[in-house]
A = this chain, B = another copy of it.
Amino acid sequence: MRTPLTADMFDELCPTPLSPIRVGDKWAGMIIRCLEDGPRRFSELRVPLRDITPKSLTHSLRALEQRGLVSRNEQPRSVEYALTPLGRSLLEPLNAACAWAEEHWDELVDAHEAAYQETRHTA
């Protein structure tokens, strides 16, 4: 564990974009996933979230802190973010949501494409 976070970990197979279920703001769900294996540093979190601006990351992390899901541990040479026990307990329903999205992936894609076609047809 504590393997480096990769830049492509949310690229292809992650069901997040098509799933109707969301945790907090745009980034919160992914951040929680990133912290699953242990504490991470600010700059470390920016890697898998690609082009996230520091402002957005700060904002999301503060919101997660306020909800008691993430802790901020400031040390001499770095800042480490980690899941609180409450945040870790959230992994269970979050995983259930992701599993649902993966399980119904085809239907979600079909519905999305059908809606898109209809839009084009109407226009």
Contact = CB atoms under 8 A, between A and B. Distances in A.
Interface of A: 20-24, 28, 66-69, 86, 89-90, 92-94, 96-97, 99-100, 104, 107-108, 110-112, 114-115
Contacts of A90: 20-21, 100
30 contacts: A20-B24, A20-B69, A20-B90, A21-B21, A21-B90, A21-B93, A21-B94, A21-B97, A22-B22, A22-B23, A22-B24, A66-B111, A66-B115, A67-B108, A68-B108, A68-B110, A68-B114, A86-B104, A86-B107, A86-B108, A89-B104, A90-B100, A92-B96, A92-B100, A93-B93, A93-B96, A93-B97, A93-B99, A96-B96, A96-B97
Contacts of A22: 21-24
